[in-house]
A and B are shown apart, each in its own frame.
Chain A
Amino acid sequence: MAYKPPKQSFAGQIFDVITLLVLTVGALYLPLYLGLAGAAKTPAPIANPTWEALGQNATEQQQWAALGVTDPAAANDIITARFDYSFSWMALVVMAILVIGYFVLVVRLSDKEYRDVIAERFGVKKR
C-alpha cells in the first residue's frame, strides 16, 4: 500500500517558508552581523613607513603607483596584514567531529527513508 502524504495547509506552507528563511539568515548571516565570524587577518603597521622598509623593490613601487597607491603609509596596513594561523588542536578535533557527525547523521537518516522508498517502489523484500 503506497504511503499517502497529508495535504499541507497554506498556513503550514507559509510557516515552513518562514522557518527556512530564519534558518538561513540566522545561522549564516547573524554570526557575520554580530562580528562573531571573520578572517583573522590583522594589520601590524610599522612606524614611519617607507617603500624600502615595507620590503617593496623599485618594480613593485611602480606597480603600487599604477594601482593608485603612491604613499607608502596608505599601503602600510595592506602590506603588513597577516592571518593568525595559531589554533587549538581541540578546536580542530571539534570541527572534524562536527563534519563527520553531520555526514553520519545524514547518511543514517537517509538510509531509513531510502528503505521506505525501495519498499514502495519494488515491494517488500521476501526473506
Chain B
Amino acid sequence: MVDTKTAPGQPERLQLLRVLGPAHIWALGVGIVLVGEYMGWNFAVGKGGMIAGLIACWVAGLLYTCVAMIDSEVTSTVAAAGGQYAQAKHIVGPLMAFNVGLFLVMAYTMLEAANAITIGFLLDTVAGMQGHSGLHQQPFIVLCIMFLAWLNYRGVLATLTFNLVITAIAFMAIIALFLSVQFGVSSVPLDFSAVTTDPMPYGWIGILASLHFGLWYYLGIEGTCQAAEEVRSPARSLPYGTMAGIMTLLIAATMTWYVCSGLIPWEYLGQAGTPLFDAARVTGNRGLMVLLFIGTMFSTLASANGCINDASRAWFSMGRDRYLPIWFGAVHPVYRTPYRSIIFLVPIALIFALGAPLDQVVTFSILSGLLGYTFMTFNMVMFRKKWPLDTIKRGYVHPMHPLPTIVLLILCATAYVAVFLGYGTQLIAMVSFYIIASLWFHFRRYRFVRRGDQFTMPWPRPEGY
C-alpha cells in the first residue's frame, strides 16, 4: 500500500496510502490485544485471588486509558510509521528510540512465544480429552512459529485482513460464552463463594501484586499508533479508534473475569493455560467447547501473526536507520517484506517458546511494555515543553494535562512493585539487559548513525535546543 507524492522541487518519495478510518484503528488495537482475554490475565488471580483479579483488570484499564490519551496526542502529531519509535527519535533522542524499538521487539517477540506455548498447551489438553494424553507440544510450537514467519515472509496484506476476521470470531466467542452461561446453558452453576469465603488470600499485598498480570488484558493496545501514517484523518481516527478499543476491551475483560471466576475454582484459574477454554469445558456443552477452542486458536494465531509483523518492522526500521547493522534494513526483492528481520527473530522466539514457562515469557513481554509506558510519561512532558501548544499544529490535544501523565507514572511505579513481588529476578535481568544494550548502542553503534536523518518532521527547532 504505497503511493508516490512529489512536492515541487523535491525528489520523488514513496508514502504509505492513507486509507484507514476509526473502525480500522479499533480493529487493529482489539485484534492485537484480544488474546490477553484468552490466556495470561488469569495469573493475576493466582497472584492475589478473585477480587484482586477484578481490581487489577480495572486499574490496568485506567493505566491504559492514560496511555491511549497520551498516545493519541503524540501520534496524531508525529503521524509517522513506527509509532513510539518515531516519537522517541523526534522528542527524546536516538538512544531512547533504540530502547523503544527494543521494547517493541521484545514485547511482541515474547508475546509471540507465549502464543505458541498456548497453542501447544491447548492441543495437548484437547488430545488428552480425546484419550491421547502425553502429546509432544514442541513440534506444534515450532510449526506455529515457522508457519507464521513464512506467511509474513511471503507478504502481509492478506494475512492481516484474515487476522481481522478471525479476531472478530474470537471476540464473538467470548460474548457467546457469557450469554450462554447467563441463559443457563452450563451444567455447573456459577459459583462466587470464594469472593466471600476467601476474598483476599494474600491480603492487600496480593491486590498490589496482581496488577502485574492485569496489564496482560490490554497489552499492545498502543500498537494502534503503528498505523498513524496510513490513517485518513489521524486527528479524528486515532483518538476515537483507540479509546473505543479500550472501552471494548474493558467490557470484554470484565465479562471474561466474570465467566471464568464463576466457573473455575480460583486456585485452578490462577495457573490455567487456557482459562476461557477451561470455562467452556466446565459448562459441559460441546458446542461451547468447540467454539472456545476455535476462539483460543484464532486469537493466539492472530496475535502471533501480528506480533511477527510488528516486531520485524520495528527491527527493520532500526536496521534502516543504522541503529542495528544495515543488513537488517533490506526488503525482499519479490515479496517486499523485511525478510531478514523476520528470519532473525525466529530463533529468539523459538528459544523462549521451547525453553521457558508461560508465566515467565508473559512477564518478559509485560516488562518491556511497562518500560514503554514509563517512557510515554516523560516523552509527553518533553513534547509539550519542546513544542508548546501554539508552536505546532496538533491533530488532537488530550485534556487535563498533566493529570493523565501523573496518573500513568504512579500506576507504572505501582506495576514495577507488582512485578517485583514474585518475579523480581526477571525484572532485574530485563533492566540489566536494556542497560547493557544502551551502553553498546551509545559507545559502539551510534557512530554508524546519520545524525540529521533522525529528525524528519516539518517542525520548528525545539525550545531549549
**CB distance B95 to A113 under 8 Å?**
yes
Q: Which of A5, A28, A57 contacts B447 (CB 8 A)?
A: A5
Q: Which residues of the partner chain B approach A38 to less than 8 Å between Cβ atoms? A: 360, 425
B203 to chain A, nearest CB (A): 9
- Chain B residues lying within 8 Å of A63, measured Cβ to Cβ, are 188, 191, 263-265, 268, 282
Q: A5-B322, A67-B278, A102-B431 are in contact. Are A116 and B451 (CB under 8 A)?
A: yes
Q: Which residue of A lies closest to B438 (CB)?
A: A106
Given contacts A6-B447, A103-B374, A114-B93, 12 further A-B contacts (CB under 8 A): A3-B451, A3-B452, A25-B348, A37-B426, A37-B429, A66-B188, A69-B268, A81-B271, A83-B47, A103-B378, A110-B95, A121-B451
Summed over the interface, the residue pairs from A and B with CB atoms below 8 Å come to a total of 225
Q: Which residues of chain A are near B429, meaning CB under 8 Å?
A: 27-28, 31, 37
A57 and B193: CB pair below 8 A?
yes
A3-B450, A13-B327, A116-B451 are contacts. A82–B431 as well, Cβ < 8 Å? no
> Which residue of B has the minimal Cβ distance to A30?
B429
Choose one: B94, B206, B433; the contact of A28 (CB below 8 Å): B433
Q: Which residue of B has the minimal Cβ distance to A80?
A: B267
**Mask for B317-331, Cβ within 8 A of A = 1, else 0?**
000001011110000
Which of B92, B282, B352 makes the CB contact (< 8 A) with A67? B282
Q: Are A59 and B201 in contact (CB under 8 A)?
A: no
B95–A109 touching, CB < 8 Å: yes
Cβ-based interface call for B420 (8 A): yes
Q: Which A residues are in CB contact (< 8 Å) with B433?
A: 23-24, 27-28
A110 touches B355 (CB 8 A): no
For A114, the chain B residues whose CB sits under 8 A away are: 92-94, 465
Enumerate chain A residues within 8 angstroms of B187, measured Cβ to Cβ: 66
Looking at chain B's contact residues, the main secondary structure is: helix
Question: B454 at the A/B interface (Cβ < 8 Å)?
Answer: yes
B364 at the interface (CB under 8 A from A): yes
Known A62-B188, A117-B452, A120-B452: A37·B96 in contact at CB below 8 Å: no
Categorize the interface residue count of chain B: 35 or more
Interfacial residues, chain A to chain B (CB-CB below 8 A): 2-3, 5-6, 8, 10, 12-14, 16-17, 19-21, 23-25, 27-29, 31-33, 36-41, 55-57, 59-60, 62-64, 66-69, 75, 78-79, 81-85, 87, 91-92, 95-96, 98-99, 102-103, 105-107, 109-122, 125
Chain A residues contacting B421 (CB-CB under 8 Å) are: 83, 85, 87
Residues A102 and B442 in contact in the complex (CB < 8 Å), given A113-B93, A117-B94: no
B444 to A, closest residue via Cβ: A16
A44 to B: closest C-beta gap in Å: 12
Does B402 touch A at the CB level, under 8 Å? no
The answer to whether A110 touches B96, judged by C-beta atoms less than 8 angstroms apart, is: yes
Residues 254-295 of B, flagged 1 when their CB comes within 8 A of A and 0 if not, give: 000000000111011001000000100111100000000000
Question: Which B residues are CB-close (under 8 A) to A14?
Answer: 325
Nearest CB of A to B373, in Å: 12
Per the bound structure, the CA–CA distance linking A119 and B454 in Å amounts to: 12
Q: Which A-chain residue is minimally distant from B348 (CB atoms)?
A: A24
Interface string of B351-395 (1 = CB under 8 A from A): 110011001100010000000001100100000000000000000
Measured between beta carbons, the chain A residues less than 8 angstroms from B422 are 39-41, 83-85
Question: In the bound complex, do residue B191 and residue A60 qualify as a contact, i.e. CB atoms below 8 Å apart?
Answer: yes
**In the complex, residue of chain A having the shortest beta-carbon distance to the beta carbon of B356:** A32
Residue of A3, A67, A107 touching B264 (CB-CB under 8 A): A67
Q: Tell me if B435 and A105 are in contact (CB < 8 A).
A: yes
Q: With A29-B352, A64-B265, A67-B282 as given contacts, are A16 and B324 in contact (CB-CB < 8 Å)?
A: yes
Cβ of B132 under 8 Å from chain A: no
Q: How many Å lie between the Cα of A2 and that of B446 in the bound state? A: 15
Contact assessment for B325 and A16 in the assembled complex, using a CB-CB cutoff below 8 Å: yes
Q: Which of A25, A68, A117 has the most CB of B within 10 A?
A: A117
Chain B contacts for A95, CB-based, 8 A: 416, 420, 424, 427-428
